[in-house]
Homo-oligomer: A and B are copies of this chain.
Amino acid sequence: MKKSIGAKTILFPTPVLIVCSYDDKGVANAMNVAWGGIACSEPPCVTVSIREHRKTYENIMAQKAFTVNIPSEQYLKEADHFGIVSGKNEDKFKATGLTPVKSDLVNAPYIKEFPVALECALLETHKLGTHTQFIGKIVDVKVETSALNAKGFPDTEKMKAFMFDPGTSAYYATGKFLGQAYTIGKIK
Asked whether B172 lies within 8 Å of A174 as measured between CB atoms, the reply is yes
A185 and B10 in contact, given A128-B40, A173-B178 (Cβ under 8 angstroms) = no
Task: Tell which of A3, A10, A118, A173 has the most Cβ of chain B within 10 Å.
Answer: A10
Report the interface size class on chain A: 35 or more
A158 to chain B, nearest CB (A): 11
Asked whether B83 lies within 8 Å of A181 as measured between CB atoms, the reply is yes
Contacts of A34 in B (CB 8 A): 38
Contacts of A154 in B (CB 8 A): 10, 12, 167
Chain A 138-163 interface mask (CB, 8 Å, partner B; 1/0):
11111111001101111110010111
A39 and B35 in contact, given A4-B142, A181-B80 (Cβ under 8 angstroms) = yes
Q: Tell me the A residues contacting B by CB distance below 8 Å.
A: 1-15, 17, 34-47, 49, 68, 70, 73, 76-84, 95-96, 104, 112, 116-118, 123-124, 126, 128-131, 133, 135, 137-145, 148-149, 151-156, 159, 161-188
